[in-house]
């Protein structure tokens, strides 16, 4: 292991040389309070930044052991420290040091959700931050002195401000962050035993600052959530104690109300309730069962041998819907496929919004039934399957603004009135009794879920002889020659989740895809590896840290594989 003087000597030696001479720095350096690992050195100032690690022993970092004594605590502490390091980097001010990415220092610190990620590692022995840096250059000539200022000046400041627990306030702030995450996890675990699929705590701030921001609307402008008395329940959080709020029971729940009164805002909060949120987000006490899936129409997506026959059959020209494939799905066929795929990978709650659903998939009213005979209509609408899904143990929450026919099948009806929820179940049932629609229920038995076996030939991340896997924000992955469109996979919330999914698909294909295991089995095997060995296990880059992954759910991994246009399967 080299020391500070040796690193400084190397930087002086390569000062003014061509940029590739930076690669001579690769190695490990003891720099006082921390150890610096220069894992990967970029070959050009315009290339992807260099990857480095800074590691501090717990004897110096001094974070109390109880803050990382369980998985949820460790994940929350790592999240807290990554954000702290990001603030320390921002506190250095602008650091432009020449050409391209020169002077860049970043850490993958995340958004409003607390996710398992690889940017920070906390163990009983050490705390490690994984950073990306742009080593300075003028043109393609090394700026050794500025590099020394970065590595020997900026990094110690970042370590001091970001990784060390020096004052009582540091531990108190970390303890609060951990407690908020642990409370959310505890609330979510209580849902199923309480007969609930979701919970919204009183005082929650659900509206966001804007359509492109997940930050909370300022409290002075937002209406705090308050549960209607008939739906108010009390759960127990380990730190906050007794927490009261609205419990949404298992079964079929409608969210109704006029336009702009908060229906979709509530549903969007429930969508993200599968994740824990940072203190101050406003949704810290909004929790949903962990396997909930948002369903919508998705015109144009590819579908590969999905049994959509519970919803669509008797197509013209005899097309088989028990093993349905298309390169260009319609709104109704895509929504049917999305539901069946969610059931295939595992879910106990479907979330739907009338605004993003295919109308003919959701309802066929009495008048349309009279005009178009059932034998001429291949679609069995969702309204005639939702009770059968309930019998299968799958609950549904639907935002409905235009179809009162759903009153007949609902167990609970919540009206949003100026962002305030009201339980109108009794009124809805009374109206359903007074205004009988006489629509006929369509469709027979739902049938079982048919599992599919992905074929190994489906997965080829190679382009021109090199592996090409790249995430483009949250919504797209380049996988070889294919682009996987994830724009309508609405519970992906972080680009680092998308980045991880790309490498998970490669890992899954290389390690476990044997033309016998089902999609669900393959995904579960990868997630078991991640649980046992950490998210690093999916990285193809040996010798350099994968500091930019965040863990996705099984549901989003499956969604990406199902949208890979080269996917080929056989039925189990």
- Domains plus CATH for the chain? 2-166 (no CATH), 193-449 (3.40.50), 452-571 (no CATH)
Q: What pLDDT is attached to residue 319?
A: 84
Q: What are the b/e assignments for 5-38, b being 16+ CB within 10 Å? A: eebbebbeebbeeebebbeebeeebebeebbbbb
pLDDT at 158: 98
Determine the straight-line distance between the first and last CA of the chain, rounded to whole angstroms: 54
DSSP secondary structure code for residue 62 in this structure: -
Structure confidence by residue, pLDDT tens digits, 456-507: 999 999 999 999 999 999 999 999 999 999 999 999 999 999 999 999 999 9
Give just the sign of the alpha carbon dihedral 276, 282, 285, 286.
Answer: negative
Instruction: Kindly give the parts of the chain with pLDDT less than 70.
Output: 542-543
Instruction: Provide the pLDDT for residue 97.
Output: 85
Sign of torsion over alpha carbons 36, 40, 41, 46: negative
* Angle in degrees, 0-180, between the axes of helices 495-511 and 554-562, rounded to the nearest 10: 70
CA separation for the pair 464, 27 (Å, rounded): 32
Q: What pLDDT sits at residue 543?
A: 66
pLDDT digits (tens, 9 = 90+) for 117-131: 999 999 999 999 999
């Amino acid at each position: 292991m080299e020391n500070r003087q040796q690193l400084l000597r190397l930087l002086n030696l390569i000062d003014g040389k061509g940029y590739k001479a930076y690669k001579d720095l690769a190695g490990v350096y003891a720099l006082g309070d921390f150890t610096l690992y220069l894992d990967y050195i970029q070959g050009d100032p315009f290339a992807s930044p260099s990857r480095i690690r800074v590691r501090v022993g717990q004897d110096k970092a001094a974070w109390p052991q109880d803050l990382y004594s369980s998985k949820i605590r460790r994940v929350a502490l790592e999240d807290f420290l990554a954000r702290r390091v990001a603030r320390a980097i921002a506190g250095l001010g602008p650091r432009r040091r020449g050409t391209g990415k020169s002077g860049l220092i970043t850490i993958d610190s995340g958004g409003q959700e607390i996710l398992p990620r690889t940017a920070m590692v906390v163990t009983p022995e050490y705390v490690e931050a994984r950073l990306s840096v742009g080593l300075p250059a003028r043109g393609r000539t090394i700026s050794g002195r500025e590099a020394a200022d970065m590595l020997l000046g900026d990094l110690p400041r970042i370590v001091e401000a970001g990784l060390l627990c020096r004052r009582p306030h540091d531990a108190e702030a970390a303890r609060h962050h951990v407690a908020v995450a642990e409370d959310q996890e505890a609330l979510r675990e209580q849902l199923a035993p309480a007969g609930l699929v979701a919970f919204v705590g009183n005082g929650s701030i659900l509206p966001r600052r804007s359509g492109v921001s997940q930050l909370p609307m300022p409290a002075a402008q937002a209406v705090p959530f308050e549960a209607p008395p008939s739906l108010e329940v009390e759960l127990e959080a380990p730190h906050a104690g007794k927490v009261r709020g609205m419990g949404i029971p298992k079964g079929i729940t409608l969210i109704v109300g006029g336009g702009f009164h908060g229906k979709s805002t509530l549903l969007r909060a429930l969508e993200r309730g599968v994740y824990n949120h940072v203190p101050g987000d406003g949704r810290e006490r909004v929790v949903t069962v962990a396997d909930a899936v948002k369903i919508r129409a998705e015109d144009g997506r590819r579908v590969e041998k999905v049994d959509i026959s519970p919803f669509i059959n008797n197509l013209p020209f005899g097309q088989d819907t028990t093993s349905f494939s298309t390169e260009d799905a319609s709104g109704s066929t895509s929504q049917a496929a999305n539901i069946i795929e969610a059931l295939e990978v595992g879910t106990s709650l479907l979330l739907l919004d009338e605004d993003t659903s295919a109308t003919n998939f959701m309802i066929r009213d009495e008048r349309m039934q009279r005009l178009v005979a059932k034998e001429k209509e291949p679609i069995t609408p969702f309204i005639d399957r939702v009770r059968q899904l309930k019998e299968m143990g799958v609950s549904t929450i639907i935002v409905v603004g235009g179809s009162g026919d759903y009153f007949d099948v609902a167990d609970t009806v919540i009206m949003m009135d100026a962002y305030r929820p009201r339980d109108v179940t009794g009124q809805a049932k009374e109206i359903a009794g007074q205004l009988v629609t006489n629509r006929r229920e369509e469709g027979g038995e739902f049938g079982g879920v048919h599992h599919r076996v992905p074929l190994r030939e489906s997965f080829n991340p190679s382009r021109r002889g090199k592996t090409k896997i790249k995430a483009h924000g949250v919504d797209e992955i380049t996988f070889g020659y294919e682009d996987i469109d994830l724009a309508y996979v609405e519970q992906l919330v972080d680009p680092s989740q998308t980045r991880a999914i790309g490498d998970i698909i490669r890992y899954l294909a290389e390690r476990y895809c044997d033309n016998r295991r089902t999609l669900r089995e393959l995904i579960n095997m990868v997630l078991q590896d991640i649980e046992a060995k950490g998210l690093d296990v999916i990285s193809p880059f040996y010798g350099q840290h994968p500091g930019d992954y965040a863990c996705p759910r099984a549901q989003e991994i499956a969604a990406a594989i199902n949208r890979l246009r080269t996917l080929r399967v056989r039925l189990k």
